[in-house]
Structure 1
Amino acid sequence: MPKGVYLRRAGRFAWLAFAGALLATPVYAQKRTATPQKAVQQQPAALTIPSDPDDAFVALREAARKNDADRAAAISATLVDYPIPSYVEYFRIKSQMFDSSGQPLIDTPDAEISAFLQRYQGEAIADRMRNDWLLVLGKKRDWANFDVQYPQFVLKDDTQVECYALLSRALKGQNVAADARAMLVDPRYYGDGCVDLISYMAQSQQIQRGDVAFQARQALEQNYTTLAGKIAAALPDARVDGDSLATVVKMARNDPSQAAAYMGTISGNLSRDEQGAAWGVIGQFAAKKLMPEAAGYYRRQMDLGGNQWLSDESQEWRVRAALRQGDWKQVRQSIESMRPELRAKDPAWTYWYARALKADGRGSDAQQQFQSIAGQFNFYGQLASEELGNRITIPTRTTVSDAEAMAMRSRAGFTRAKKFYDLNLRFEGNREWNWELRGMNDRDLLAAAEYARKIELLDRTVNTSDRTKAEHDFTQRFPMPYRDIMQRATDDVGLDMAWAYGLIRQESRFIMNARSSAGAHGLMQVMPATAKYVARKIGMTDFSPSMMGDPNINIMLGTNYMSMVLTDLDSSWTLASAGYNAGPGRPKAWRTSLSRPVEGAIFAETIPFTETRNYVKNVLSNATYYAALMSGRPQSLKDRLGMVAPSAVTTTSLP
């Protein structure tokens, strides 16, 4: 630890107490020591190395993932001529930087790391190594090296590294509170670096008690109780706005009505801001449960103020609760009260704000808002365009030559990516592919997308073509592989082929061997139990799960299931898309809380599950473009969304 830097202002900010607390924390960087367990790992049986180089490389990657330094070293020694030497070296070194639980080690091979970064300067793997090293340097408090390396970190997509960067600045006497507040909005990504930053800012009085309590409460809202405790420890009495608000959060997660009743007994002990924050939390969890009382809880919050102590999620659900109730005034007020960066991040809030202005008779102001997003090729861009009187059409196609596409073959990043895809290592493949796309103009992006199509990487075709700004090729963005099979399958069950393709684009991005963590398989990501159910229903007596790798079988079973779900859910594409993702029983249950028919867009925006909410919007947006491509005629997303009516029926026979 560079002691002189760390203790420079010791008298003023009680450094010794803070440093002592950090050193006592079990997540502090540990010295690697020999253990009996380590000796067991070094036995010959544990170091069996696959004879095939590709298999050995995959085994090396797994050893690095587990931070098994001995096994990584042994395997890498056999891969001296492997075609991707940078990754062989990276996996070997990375396994020496962290222990088996993922915590940084003090005695990392800094000289080797530095040499690696120089050797592979400019490549994706160098940025990945620099990301890892910055985590180690931050945890070690080696700010001299950290401050040299951080400006060279290109992607800057690691929240914990950003926290260490702010901590380094703060230790030099800079006030970083505003930057920290703007960054610390999602506890999922905090890690130890962000806890250390919050603790230091509290110790040095750059932030106040309310800031710390808010950060701890955000963690509690997402059920990260251990993280919340670590953050709260920065407070003098290690409590989150007193135990009362912590109790409100925990209670609201299970029973918002009970939490609301509890507020009646403790509100006299809370400040006005604290009361507002509590009602915001209660409103959030009530809204997620689709309780009609949610909008009322949020109205109490807005009457009290304290908006600065609402998490982003609470602010978003405040809008959704008002949408469900049809309260356009509260929709407008909720969006106007949003954190500006949050409001600007998602076109949803621009669209719903415009709708609220329109409902208030402010048509000219609404049109300006619609126009600001109508050019975007996404769900809310499409809806905004329709509000301006347009139908959904396909932009003029820009084509590239075969020569332009095949010229991409010589790019080193794409060569490495293809090797990784051949090994089914999609994480590394995508990282190399996306790194190579940096700085490309539209025509280069279209050429890269076409190259991906030629080598049958349709997910890369879609994702690459999606990046263009002014020149477009929607045959790349919305490909239609296996069209003969799809045409036959959808005709057999009377299904809209545009919807089926829209669903596949969202489910698997046309990766035939795609598998989800839950076991869903293939193009249409059909779960094994669902596949068996559908096969039995259509009289397929010889079905076995291994058949799901066949596109004929995958598409046949997937489209049959889509048809079953659509029939079960009143032929609503909105409900059926939600049912395909979350199970048909859930959208049925979500309908029961409606007090009146609502637009499909409102139903989609207020789906409680984030994954399903985004899924429905993307599937129906995709389907609208597919329909325009197939028919050559303008389309309407609003018509496709339709209306969703209340229903008392919650049962279903479908899996």
Structure 2
Amino acid sequence: MSLRTIIVVLFSLLFGFNSMMAYGKDSSIKKQREIYQKWLQNYTTLSDTEQLNQLVLLKDYPLYPYARYQYLKAHLATASINQVNQFVRQNPDFPLSSSLMQSYVELLTEKKDWQNISKLSIDNSLVTKCRYKYALFQQGKKTEAFKDVASLWLSDNDLPSACNDLFNAWDQSGAKSVNLILLRLELVLSKNNIKLARYLTNQLPSNYGTLKKNLLAVLDDPQNLTAFVKNMSVTPFSKNVVMLSFPRLANRNPELANTFIPTLVKRLKLTQEQEIKLQRSIALNYFNSSATKEQVAWRDHFISEHSDVGLLERRIRLALKDNQLDQVAYWINLLPKTHKQKDEWRYWQAVILEKDNQQADADKILQSLMEQRGFYAMYSAQKLKQTYHFNFEYPVIDKVTPKEELARLSSHYAKLPVIQRIEELRYFGKIPEAIAEWRYFLYKDNNPKQYAEIARYAYLRGWGEHSVQATIAGKLWDNWLERFPLVHQQHFDHFTKDKSIPLSFALAISRQESGLDPTVQSPSGAKGLMQLLPNTAKESAKKIALQNYHSSEQLYDPETNIQLGTYYLNYVYQLFDDNRVLAAAAYNAGPNRVNRWLQDTADGLEVIAFIESIPFTETRNYVKSVLVFDYIYQLILKNKPQTILNTKEVQHIYHKEKS
């Protein structure tokens, strides 16, 4: 046999062996997926023996912890301490381990099985801690049970009802002193939680009747502060009540509050710093349109005297809204040096220099801004008629192709159990679970992580919502590819092609709203990728005759969310004459507010002044972020944008005639 023949045979055998290995692996994962699919479909109907047999078959499958969790959750009433503890110990990086522990502790609490609760390896949740400590109390271990309970109780928020038994026992032991109640009252008042403050006040003992009566009166109506100060002796607590309640009085009746300050200073022996703090509350309430000339003069004198940064910045924005550039210059000059270096105020310093015919100095500031990132960096480039610098070629692993980079990253990350679980969860379309796994992986502990590698790995795998979260966790603000992936592009393409809104604008809104996470729900109830409120979604569905839309839960489906979200975005975009600045503001704060802001501006307001004078901090930052994201997405989509704002948006006069 010739050497050539031997080589060919050996190559064939090697290739065949590798093929069989690959086939065997593929066949194995396919078989495990089939078993897991059957488990999901019918495990609740199987006998205990059949369930255990199924679990044995899934032992080496990445999603085995989910199946095991489901089994234990279904058999929680008969599960042993060892089974639960073992599951938690064996799956420390599994998001549902804490959930199982919490459910088990709750069950044992209902059964009053105090001894077994104290044997558990509990998690750090407040509810579990409370139940664990109450179990110790029931076993007569009062010292151990009540240790650190005061720190748990001293919260400025409402506490879970699951802690009531522990706190009641602690209270009945005499450990909850009046001083602790007063201390928590101060914490609660600092958060303006009036309902909880009223509840705590009613917990004061009967010999504190005068304090209880007068404090409840202040909580009901801050104008009763006058009586409170008159009737109560001067103590650190009574001083704090006045300091914390005064802003409510200033908000309700600033004139009365202002006349009351000398009395408070004299009666309570307030420091100059405390007096200034009270006056600041008055100044804040003299920014409204109903303020008189005298009130405005008092406000401006106070701000110029005390150089409060928050008030100064608000005063600068008021001057911008009124198109008073000389006033802008005056108030910026009063800012502390460090705050003058904020991008927005450096930009306006350049505008002021330009107006004073100091173009070279103005351009120097703009050139410096252009070297940074963000809205003012990009708009400074536009002002200078230069292209903003951007870089999509940054390395994560040097001198390798994307294919080689993925291979190297996969060799390290693909074998991690969490990544294998995410892989399988995504295969079954369980995106919420995959996202929960990813977040747990990123934020679980403080161990150092190679966030740039993790983000790039997710990006190269096509896991856009994961790569975004990794860049946030790692503060990778310059990693544009991983920060701005193209997700659900087929839906965005389809639902924007017949609309006025640019594709990049729809993507930018989604990126700002949800970080491209389809599972997000805001505190106000907005849901999904484009963060639609249920009522907005319902109205939009009616307008486009989307007959298969029945529930706001459908907003977690990316296709449905994008269909309704792009419709509403297109509506506000057309409502404001294809202006992204106004459309973005309207999408965030509502069209009515935007119209009101336009009516309140001075004649001839230009675009940057309008953006910076938006009174809502959230909306102001939102608009700037969306414009930045739109510009980046245009680059990614290879639309070759020249500027962050288009000519129409720059030339538009931001003012609306009052009707």
2:590 is aligned with 1:593: no
d(CA) in 2 for partners of 1:430, 1:286: 44
- The aligned runs of 1:210-359 (5 Å cut-off) are 236-240=235-239, 243=242, 249-254=247-252, 258-260=253-255, 262-263=257-258, 266=261, 277-287=277-287, 296=297, 298-305=299-306, 307=307, 310=308, 313-332=310-329, 334-335=331-332, 337-338=334-335, 347-359=343-355
Instruction: Tell me by how many angstroms 1:341 deviates.
Output: 6.5
**Cross-structure match for 1:624:** 631
TM-score (norm 2): 0.59
Q: CA contact under 8 A between 1:328 and 1:359: conserved in structure 2?
A: no
Residues 434, 402 of structure 1: alpha-carbon distance in 2 compared, 3 angstrom cutoff: same
- The aligned runs of 1:406-425 (5 Å cut-off) are 406-407=410-411, 408-410=413-415, 424=433
d(CA) in 1 for partners of 2:587, 2:455: 29
Instruction: Tell me by how many angstroms 1:632 deviates.
Output: 4.2
* 2:237 match: secondary structure: coil
What residue identity is the alignment partner of 2:251? R
- The aligned runs of 1:88-487 (5 Å cut-off) are 100=127, 139=151, 236-240=235-239, 243=242, 249-254=247-252, 258-260=253-255, 262-263=257-258, 266=261, 277-287=277-287, 296=297, 298-305=299-306, 307=307, 310=308, 313-332=310-329, 334-335=331-332, 337-338=334-335, 347-359=343-355, 363=359, 366-392=362-388, 394-398=390-394, 400=402, 401-407=405-411, 408-410=413-415, 424=433, 429-433=438-442, 445=452, 447-465=453-471, 474-487=480-493
d(CA) in 1 for partners of 2:355, 2:234: 46
Q: CA contact under 8 A between 2:468 and 2:482: conserved in structure 1?
A: yes
Instruction: Tell me by how many angstroms 1:623 deviates.
Output: 1.0
d(CA) in 2 for partners of 1:338, 1:347: 13
**Cross-structure match for 1:539:** 545
**Cross-structure match for 1:579:** 586
Q: CA contact under 8 A between 1:248 and 1:259: conserved in structure 2?
A: no
Task: Encode CA deviations 1:188-242: one digit per residue, 9 max, x unaligned.
Answer: xxxxxxx99xx9xxxxxxxxxxxxx9x999766999979999xx99984434589
Residues 521, 350 of structure 1: alpha-carbon distance in 2 compared, 3 angstrom cutoff: same
Q: CA contact under 8 A between 1:373 and 1:380: conserved in structure 2?
A: yes
Instruction: Tell me by how many angstroms 1:391 deviates.
Output: 3.6
RMSD between superposed Cα atoms in Å: 5.4
d(CA) in 2 for partners of 1:318, 1:419: 54
Residues 553, 459 of structure 1: alpha-carbon distance in 2 compared, 3 angstrom cutoff: closer
**Cross-structure match for 2:34:** none
Q: Which has the larger radius of gyration?
A: 2
Task: Encode CA deviations 1:63-106: one digit per residue, 9 max, x unaligned.
Answer: xxxxxxx99x9788436246523668877578576764988998
Q: CA contact under 8 A between 2:438 and 2:466: conserved in structure 1?
A: no
Residues 417, 535 of structure 1: alpha-carbon distance in 2 compared, 3 angstrom cutoff: closer
Q: CA contact under 8 A between 2:87 and 2:97: conserved in structure 1?
A: no
TM-score (norm 1): 0.59
Instruction: Tell me by how many angstroms 1:501 deviates.
Output: 0.9
What residue identity is the alignment partner of 1:589? R
What residue identity is the alignment partner of 1:404? R
Instruction: Tell me by how many angstroms 1:324 deviates.
Output: 2.1
Deviates more, 1:622-631 or 1:426-435: 426-435
Instruction: Tell me by how many angstroms 1:301 deviates.
Output: 1.3
**Cross-structure match for 1:561:** 568
Instruction: Tell me by how many angstroms 1:565 deviates.
Output: 1.3
What residue identity is the alignment partner of 1:238? F
Q: CA contact under 8 A between 1:60 and 1:76: conserved in structure 2?
A: no
Instruction: Tell me by how many angstroms 1:396 deviates.
Output: 4.2
Q: Percent identity?
A: 21
Instruction: Tell me by how many angstroms 1:624 deviates.
Output: 1.8
Specify every segment of 5 or more residues in structure 2 that has no aligned partner in the other structure, as ranges: 1-50, 56-64, 102-119, 137-146, 158-178, 202-214, 216-228, 266-270, 396-401
* 2:301 match: secondary structure: helix
Task: Encode CA deviations 1:601-632: one digit per residue, 9 max, x unaligned.
Answer: 33333333333232222112111222233344
Task: Encode CA deviations 1:459-502: one digit per residue, 9 max, x unaligned.
Answer: 33234457899996634332223333323322212221111111
Q: CA contact under 8 A between 2:442 and 2:473: conserved in structure 1?
A: no
Deviates more, 1:219-228 or 1:483-492: 219-228
Residues 555, 333 of structure 1: alpha-carbon distance in 2 compared, 3 angstrom cutoff: same
d(CA) in 2 for partners of 1:437, 1:347: 32
Q: CA contact under 8 A between 2:459 and 2:467: conserved in structure 1?
A: yes
Instruction: Tell me by how many angstroms 1:506 deviates.
Output: 1.0
d(CA) in 1 for partners of 2:188, 2:358: 40
Q: CA contact under 8 A between 2:459 and 2:485: conserved in structure 1?
A: no
